[in-house]
Every structure is written in C-alpha cells, then in structure tokens.
Structure 1
Amino acid sequence: KFDGPKKIVVEGKDKGTYTAKNYIIATGARARSLPGLEADGKVVWDYKKAMTPDKMPKSLVVVGSGAIGIEFASFYHTMGADVTVVEIMPQIMPVEDKEVAGLAQKMMTKDGMKILTEAKVANLKRNSDNVVVTVETKDGKKQELTVDRVISAVGVIGNTEGLGLETTKVKVDRNVIGTDEYSATAEPGIYAIGDVAGPPMLAHKAEHEGVVCIEKIAGVKGVHPIDPRKIPGCTYCHPQVASVGLTEAKAKDAGYEVKVGKFPFIGNGKAVALGEAEGLVKTVFDAKTGELLGAHMVGAEVTELIQGFVVAMGLETTEEDLMHTVFPHPTLSEMMHESVLDAYGRAIHF
C-alpha cells in the first residue's frame, strides 16, 4: 500500500519499502454484493464460483442480466440447466440498444430460457443443497422458485480498499479511481488503469488503457487517448450481442437527428446456410453529417463483425464511404453493408 505519494510498503515474502518515479494501479474489480444476496460459494455463487462449479446444477436463478449474468445464464442453459433470469430493469442487457436487447430476449425465451424483467429477488432461503428464491414483480406479485443454485451477477466494484490512497491526492468515488484521458490520477506520478478506473469494465479497454498510459509515461509522441464511445462491447451468449457507440435512444437524447438502418439475418445467404437465420444488424447515423454514431448487432458471430464498425468510427467514416465499400460474398459481413444502405433507403436484399 502507499505510504505517501512516492513510496509503497510491501508486506509478505518481499516485504519492505519501495520507491519509483511512477506507479500504475491495476487492482481490478470484484463482484458486487447486495444485502441478502451475498455469495457463500455453496448455494449462492458469484461469477468466480460460477466458472468452477463442484457439480453441474439442474436448475438455477441468475440475478442480473448484464453481460456477466446473461453469459452465465446462456452457458448453463446450453448445458441443460433450467435457467431463470431475474432483472430489475425493463430490458435485459440494459446498456444495449432496446431493439437489439428485445430480439435477444425473444430468441433466448424461444430457446427455453425463462426471463423475468421488472422483477427483483425479495428473499432467499438457503438450504444445504438448494435455494428457495422469492421473486417479486413490479405489480407486487410474488412467486417462489426452488433451484439448485443462484448466481449473483449484479455488477462489479473496484478494488480500492487497503491501498493507502488516503495518503495521496488520488481521488476515489464509489470505488472508482478518478483519472484523466491518459490514466493519470490527481496525484502526479500515480496512474490507474482497467476496472478500478471505471467503466466500461472490459478486458480490451484495460489492455489498451495500459498501452496508452505507459506510452504517455515514456514520452512517446502522438499518443491518442481512448474515446469511450469507440470501445466495443461484446456479450458471449447465444445469440451473441455486440455494439459500439450510441444506441438509437441515446443518440436522440444527445440531440442528434438520426437515420437508422436495420437488416435481418434471414436476408443473408451465409446466415441461412449456417442455420443461423435469426438476428439483426442495426446502424445509427447523424442525419445531418452522415457520421456513424453507433452500431448494434445480435446473432451468430456478431462479436467478430463489430470491429468493422469500430474501425469505421475510428476513421470517421461517413455513410457514403460505407455504402461504396465492397463487402465479400457470401459472408455475414454483407449485413453490415445492407444495414447502412437501409438507413438511406437503399437496401438491396430485403
């Protein structure tokens, strides 16, 4: 831990006091815990325990439908478990575009997963080898579910405790260390990267932050800070969900007049040939300038496709550039082209 801004005290095998010109805090995050939903590693799991189960549960409730919750729900459902997802918000994956999240929910429900939105866990009764979960919906109705296990997936929280940050000028707000665009904290010489520096809490964001931070410290010329709007998000469930930039709703809230394009998987030959004909590619443009504001996808392999739109946004590509780009056939990527064309009334393969 820090003992003032210029030295750290290490305990354990290599105990001692160490000094350096610069320090990078990369302590990550841990599962958030809500009262009554505390993980015990036996019948109530956090995400770490859910990755290393002692046995495969036949039934479980997943509390929370963010990326972590939906990924575990999808995995265990695929493995044959009877899965129920409980989400307090009106839609699953609340940060995603409403239309894309809605289609994902429809596909998951069709596949047999149970999803309860605008609902909360009112009570947990822990038994030796199962849990009785009382779920309350927004209209006050309650139902009891008896399941083998519960996965608490209500978010993560930065590991800021016990670091001695109070002996420095580093500012911490709700377990997030405040930084500038180059990961510098309020204390000169101390930086923070990754989950502990705040959302989006994604591995690829943390990795790129580390590169930018160290290049800035090393005095590399032309270092560009990360634009949070251009960081892709991927949810590795079935169906896959991927996005970058603003949702349609957030673009409108930000004052943009938008043009929206959509293209369904059923209109793509490769998707049909793969047996994956359900899904959607959606693009959001600034109607005045043609700037690509966001892209949102649900369906097979969309986590591999999203980088195309990430590159396009990074290059400040307009709708005209994208419409004139030749996409190979037969590929799933053709749907990206078609969604752009559709935003301007020029889709071909409907």
Structure 2
Amino acid sequence: MKKYDLIVIGAGPGGYEAAAHAAKNGLKTLLIEKQHLGGACLNNGCIPVKTLLGSVHFLQQIKKANLLNIKVENPMLDFSGLLDRKDRLIKRLQKGIEILLKDSGVETLIAAVTLKPDKIVETIDDSQQYTAENIILATGSAPGTLPGIQPDGQWLVDNIQLLQNKTIPASLSIIGAGVIGLEFADIYSRLGCKVTLLDVIPELLPAEDREAVALLQKSLERAGCAFLLNSKIEKIENKTIYLQGGQTISAELCLLAAGRKACTDYIQAPAVQKTPKGYVQANENLQTSVSGIYAIGDCNGLALYAHAATHQGITVVDNILHPELRRLPSGAEAMPRVLFTSPQIASVGKYTDNFKKIPLSLLGRAQAENQTEGFLKIFHDSTGAITGCVLATENADALIGEAVVLVNTKTKYSELKKMIHPHPSWAEIFSL
C-alpha cells in the first residue's frame, strides 16, 4: 500500500489547486481523478458555458454596432465552429493544469476509486490501495434530477448533453430557472430559439436583489424567452410537458436544469457522515466526521462555486501545514457570486434596508459606449460599514472584485467616497 502525506480525490478547481499548493509546500501528494483534469467546471460547466455566452453576447454587441457609428451587415454565428473552439479551449486548459501539477510535484492518478474505512483509497479496476494521514474529498457535483424525470440523452437532456448538441433547436423548454437554466436560456433565446423557462418557484432567483432580477427578466423576455413560474409538472409524455392546471408545453428539445447533486457514491466509509441532502458533512474547518478527512467544494454543499472550492482547498492545506493557525474559510457572506447572463448580476455580502443606488447612466464611460442599462447598489449597516453590493450590468464580473474587498474590510461608505477612481472608467461607479 502506497502512503502519502495527502491524498486529494477530485481534480476540479478545488482539488488540483489544493494538491499543487500542498506539494509546493513539501507534502507528498497524490491527486486522483476518475475522468478529466479540471472537473465539471472546466469540462462541462463554467468554462464551456462562458465560452458560448461570450460569443453570443459579442454577437449582440455587433448587431448594435450602428449605435456606435459602425456599419455591419448580417453578422452570423457559426455555432458548430463555436462548439469546436470550446472543445479546443478545454483541451488547452487541461494541458495547463497538467503542467501545473507536474511542476508542483504532484503525483496524478486517473482512476475511479472508493474511499474505505481507515483512510484507505482503493482503485475500482485493479484494487490498488493508497493511504494518507490527510485526505481531501473534492469530488464536486453532477446534474440534478427530479422524481420521475430523468434525462434520456435525446429529447430530454442535462447541461452536459446540451453542450454537445451541434445545432440550435427551433424551440427549447428548460425545467429549472436557477443559474444553469438562466444562462442556457440567455444563450439560446439570443440565437433565435424560442425558449420557455419553467419552475415551481413563484419568483425568479429569490435570494437576489429584486430590482436586478427584474432587469434580467425583462432583458430575456425581450430576447423572446417566456417564463412560467409557480408551475408544477404533472407528467412528461411524447415530448410534451403537462402542467397542473391543464397547460402543455411542446418543444424540439428540453433541458433539465434541476440544480446539482453531490458526487459521493464512492464513499464506502460509514464513519464519513452525510447531510440529509446527500452532501458530505463538514464542520467550520471543513473537516468531516472523521479526523484528517476534509470535504471541499460542491460535495460539502456550503457554497457551490468554483472559486469557493479553490478557497476552501487552500485553507484546508494551510491548516494541515500549520495546525496552530486554525484558519477558517470565508463564509457565504464574503463569497462573490456572478450570473453571466445579459445583463450580468454580481453580488457579495448581505443586503440591508440602508443602501445607495447608482444608475449606470451616470457614468460618462457608459454613455460613450451606449451601455447605460444597469446599476450598482451599495448596502451598509447603521454605522456606515459596507455589508454588501449588487451590480446589474454587462460587465459586473469585472467590477465585483472591488466590492468583495469593501465587504471583507468592512469599509465605511464615507471612506469609499474619498477613494480615487480613474475617469472615465467603469470602476468610477463606486465613487459616484
């Protein structure tokens, strides 16, 4: 049995970054991945979806070029070519991760494994066993399903299968109006596909700022997307969705975007406890119910973002290297989140009743580039300390970083007004 200082199971953003950080700091580290380096984020999530969104949004800007005195006739998107570029990008980034791991001194194993009692990790194919004093579970999540509703890979597909579809359907039904459903609705509706987005929830993105959500919904409706919220599915039959109340929805293709489920089936160690929803139970230090076994990223269910997984992985490794520090990972309040639609919605921290709203139209830069739809809201507590921010703009992802710093440092709103921002820039919105 091979022994290591650290075994990391899962090579997504949390896993491979944690492994590289550990090896660079002297830990003999084994990284195990059952499929492809990069995990769901690189191979069938964040990166491929944002590749599609980037091209689609750029096409929309080209179609508005006349507003900036540029004449462009009949711009078109080569969708099949876009998917090919997406695949090339994935391979290039996989190679980059491979080089990072090699240069860091990480030993990598591509194999399906099970986690057994006593910190034993065993390969399924040939029963090779590995062990370590510390193990990090970074196995992420997979597309969720609904009772009685399972993708067939043909008409009813999940997001992974849809990313392999080389043509744009004439119509698309999307079950689930969360982040995944909304981003795919944004892509396909702006390419001329008739999109119907349905969900059992009564309102869109209930945890987000209502004004920002309303702006996004109007934008998608202008693109031709229809919303059927507070809708319950009675059955699906012959490529038709039957809703309670008698309404039916038919489409050429249907996407099931019913959230995510943790990948934990490989755990055969009963002492590693799970939550009622199937996530690996982890405490404030991200340690599981077994000392020396940690859970990071989607599999612990605390914050389903790639950057959260990376942050958690680095934190766990730092605590293994320096147990006297007992560094705690940042909580959900300091974790930025971005919806990469048009407009984007980016937010961080807590919303309060005290806030300042700055319309994008006040920016000279926004007026110059004819992108005036959107706003920034800065929330603060009774002392004036900034508690949260929300941006609803086309480039919110590029601006939310400053908001993260403001929230984490509890900067006073009065102090923010004294900070100098370049003119004319998008970041100037923070000083208006």
Q: Same fold (TM over 0.5)?
A: yes
The TM-score range, normalised by the shorter chain, is 0.7 to 0.9
Q: Which residue in the other structure is 1:78 paired with?
A: 190
The equivalent position to 1:133 in structure 2, one of 241, 244, 247, is 241
Consecutive unaligned residues in structure 1, runs of 5 or more: 252-257, 339-350
Per-residue CA deviation, residues 268-319 of structure 1 (Å, 9 max, x unaligned), is: 2222222222112112111x21121211121210011111110111122111
Task: Tell whether 2:123 aligns with 1:19.
Answer: no
Letter in 2 for 1:82: K
Consecutive unaligned residues in structure 2, runs of 5 or more: 1-113
Change (3 A) 1:302 1:38: same
Q: Distance in 2 between matches of 1:205 and 1:91?
A: 26
Does the Cα contact within 8 Å between 1:121 and 1:135 map onto a contact in 2? Answer: yes
RMSD: 1.8
Q: 5 Å matches for 1:176-191?
A: 176-191=279-294
Aligned pair count? 318
| Percent identity between the two aligned chains | 29
Q: What is the CA distance between 1:145 and its match in structure 2?
A: 2.2
What TM-score comes out, normalization by structure 2 length?
Answer: 0.70
Matched position secondary structure for 1:336 = helix
Q: What is the CA distance between 1:42 and its match in structure 2?
A: 0.6
Q: Distance in 2 between matches of 1:304 and 1:64?
A: 27
Q: Which residue in the other structure is 1:157 paired with?
A: 261
Q: 5 Å matches for 1:204-215?
A: 204-215=307-318
Change (3 A) 1:114 1:273: farther
The equivalent position to 1:9 in structure 2, one of 85, 107, 122, is 122
Q: 5 Å matches for 1:1-350?
A: 1-13=114-126, 15-126=127-238, 131-136=239-244, 140=245, 142-166=246-270, 168-219=271-322, 222=325, 223-247=327-351, 251=352, 258-286=353-381, 288-338=382-432
Q: Distance in 1 between matches of 2:323 and 2:423?
A: 41
Q: Distance in 2 between matches of 1:221 and 1:334?
A: 42
Q: Distance in 1 between matches of 2:196 and 2:333?
A: 32
Q: Distance in 2 between matches of 1:272 and 1:91?
A: 32
Change (3 A) 1:46 1:320: same
Matched position secondary structure for 1:61 = strand
Letter in 2 for 1:263: I
Q: Distance in 2 between matches of 1:220 and 1:276?
A: 49
Q: What is the CA distance between 1:65 and its match in structure 2?
A: 1.5
Larger helix proportion, structure 1 or 2?
A: 2
Does the Cα contact within 8 Å between 2:387 and 2:410 map onto a contact in 1? Answer: no
Does the Cα contact within 8 Å between 2:115 and 2:266 map onto a contact in 1? Answer: no
Q: What is the CA distance between 1:26 and its match in structure 2?
A: 1.0
Matched position secondary structure for 1:284 = strand
What TM-score comes out, normalization by structure 1 length?
Answer: 0.85
Does the Cα contact within 8 Å between 1:61 and 1:85 map onto a contact in 2? Answer: yes
Does the Cα contact within 8 Å between 2:138 and 2:296 map onto a contact in 1? Answer: yes
Q: What is the CA distance between 1:162 and its match in structure 2?
A: 3.2
Q: What is the CA distance between 1:28 and its match in structure 2?
A: 0.8
Letter in 2 for 1:215: D
Q: Which moved more, 1:40-49 or 1:325-334?
A: 325-334
Q: What is the CA distance between 1:164 and its match in structure 2?
A: 0.7
Change (3 A) 1:121 1:263: farther
Does the Cα contact within 8 Å between 1:108 and 1:239 map onto a contact in 2? Answer: no
Q: Distance in 2 between matches of 1:154 and 1:329?
A: 43
Does the Cα contact within 8 Å between 2:380 and 2:386 map onto a contact in 1? Answer: yes
Q: Distance in 1 between matches of 2:379 and 2:202?
A: 22
Matched position secondary structure for 2:429 = helix
Change (3 A) 1:334 1:88: farther
Q: What is the CA distance between 1:323 and its match in structure 2?
A: 1.4
Per-residue CA deviation, residues 97-142 of structure 1 (Å, 9 max, x unaligned), is: 122111211222123221222223333223xxxx222344xxx4x3
